[in-house]
Amino acid sequence: MSTVVDATATQDAAARQPAEVLAYYPGCSLHGTEPEYDESLRAVVEALGVAIAEIPDWNCCGASSGHTTDQLLGVALPARNLALAEAAGFDRVLTPCAACYNRLAAARLAVAEDAALAEQMPDILGRPFENSVEVLGVLSLLREAAADIADLAAAPRPTPNPMVGAKLAAYYGCLLVRPPEVSAGDDPEQPMYMDEIIQACGAEAVDWNMKVECCGGAFSVSRTSSVLRLGRAIVEDARRSGAEAIVVACPLCHTNLDLRQRAMESRGEPRIPVLFITQIVGLALGLEPEALGLKRHFIDTEPLLSDLRVRAAQRVADEKRAAEEKAAKAAARAAKAAEAKAAQAADKTGADAPADAGGDA
């Protein structure tokens, strides 16, 4: 049964919402430029048994320009989404976009710390607002489920987990970990949430230098040359570290590194796929690439996926052969021990037999 709840249910009274259902705020990017992030997230939470319900009538959170234009607007836009989730009876709202998470979490913090602003909010929003809904980022959600991910990724299945042994560069960028007061507890300089999720999938999170460096953010159009310069440094460092793919949890980071990567090339370097963390988890759980939106990327993901599948099949074959060899050696040792025991028993029987009575005649 699908765990994506009908959004119309959120329009009813608070008591109608079970506590285990998360409000879901996709934001503009997941409904527009990065639908593969939305598709892969929905597929993964369903596989993990996490129920989500999209907030009805949600509005843009204001990133990346609203809060730079007007401070009150920058709080009111995301606060309206929190108020809608609150009115529907939710305790937490899942916000996968890094910029959206940053704006909703920052608005919640601003209202919590400013009594005058909190008093203004109901009039500005035109509805009651208690600021009671926790904002949950996708990395926090997946980290909570890391043990389940690891169990499911390691479970026997017809198609082996292709992520085992894959070398991945966890790229956090700016907004997933900054500012620290809204970044859900991860270290702003040496974050590990995404690395831990990658490891739960059976893959290797490589050690590299650019995991929290800026990709250029919203300057992708207005200052493309800056984005190309910053993105090139990120891609080159990931490649030097031995990474086979860069993993992100931000639609804008994905756009800058995936869409712009062809323009970053200067010496014919091999392109490196840029995948969402939800796609990595989905592959580890055995979900089909089509369900994870992996065919939507500008940098073709199929060569990497084909290589990972071949390596996974080879790994399974090697493990089977090693197990068979181990069993054969154990059987040979057991047979040899049985022969030695039988020989010892025969020798003992011969030694204990009585002398032949006619031997003295």
d(CA 240, CA 66): 38
pLDDT tens, position by position, 165-221: 999 999 999 889 988 888 877 898 999 999 999 999 999 999 999 999 999 988 887
Tell me which residue range forms the domain holding 81: 4-138
Q: What is the DSSP string of 81-119?
A: HHHHHHHTT-SEEE--SHHHHHHHHHHHHHHHH-HHHHH
- Name the residue with higher pLDDT: 268 or 127: 127
Write down the pLDDT at residue 33.
Answer: 87
Single pTM value for the model: 0.86
Structural domain includes residue 346:
no
Write down the pLDDT at residue 356.
Answer: 55
Query: Which one of 312, 331, 355 terminates a domain?
Result: 312
Residue 156, pLDDT > 60, answer: yes
Kindly give, in sequence order, each residue whose CB lies less than 8 Å from that of residue 310, ignoring residues fewer than 6 positions away.
none
Residues 129 and 174 in one domain: no
Residues 164 and 102 in one domain: no
- The first and second tokens of residue 301, run together, are 């993901």
Q: How large a percentage of the chain has pLDDT more than 70?
A: 90
Given pLDDT bands bounded at 50, 70 and 90, which one contains residue 52?
very high
Please say whether the beta carbons of 179 and 140 come within 8 A: no
Residue 12, pLDDT > 60, answer: no
Q: How many domains does the chain have?
A: 2
d(CA 361, CA 250): 104
Whats the size of the chain, residue-wise? 361
Residues 300 and 179 in one domain: yes
Structural domain includes residue 193:
yes
Q: What is the DSSP string of 173-203?
A: TTTTT-SGGGTTT--SSS--HHHHHHHHTT-
Write down the pLDDT at residue 8.
Answer: 44
Residues 295 and 225 in one domain: yes
Write down the pLDDT at residue 290.
Answer: 96
pLDDT tens, position by position, 138-149: 999 999 999 999
**At which residue do the structure tokens 């998470």 appear?**
101
Residues 118 and 169 in one domain: no
CA 158 to chain centre: 23
- The first and second tokens of residue 194, run together, are 């995404």
Write down the pLDDT at residue 30.
Answer: 93
The CATH number of the domain holding residue 24 is: 1.20.1050.140
Write down the pLDDT at residue 218.
Answer: 80
Write down the pLDDT at residue 67.
Answer: 65
Residues 133 and 173 in one domain: no
Structural domain includes residue 354:
no
Residues 105 and 233 in one domain: no
Q: Could you give the angle at which helices 193-200 and 146-154 cross, rounded to 10 degrees?
A: 20
Write down the pLDDT at residue 15.
Answer: 42
The CATH number of the domain holding residue 272 is: 3.40.50.11810
* Alpha helices (H) along the chain: 27-31, 35-48, 66-69, 71-87, 98-113, 115-125, 138-144, 146-154, 193-200, 224-240, 251-254, 261-264, 277-284, 302-352
Structural domain includes residue 320:
no
Mean pLDDT score of the chain, rounded to an integer?
89
Average pLDDT over residues 48-59: 96
Pairing mode, strands 204-205 and 274-276 = unpaired
Structural domain includes residue 226:
yes
Structural domain includes residue 147:
no
Residues 130 and 25 in one domain: yes
**3-state DSSP assignment of residue 132:** coil
- Name the residue with higher pLDDT: 360 or 28: 28
Residues 297 and 181 in one domain: yes
Tell whether omega for the bond before 122 is within 30 degrees of 0, i.e. cis.
no
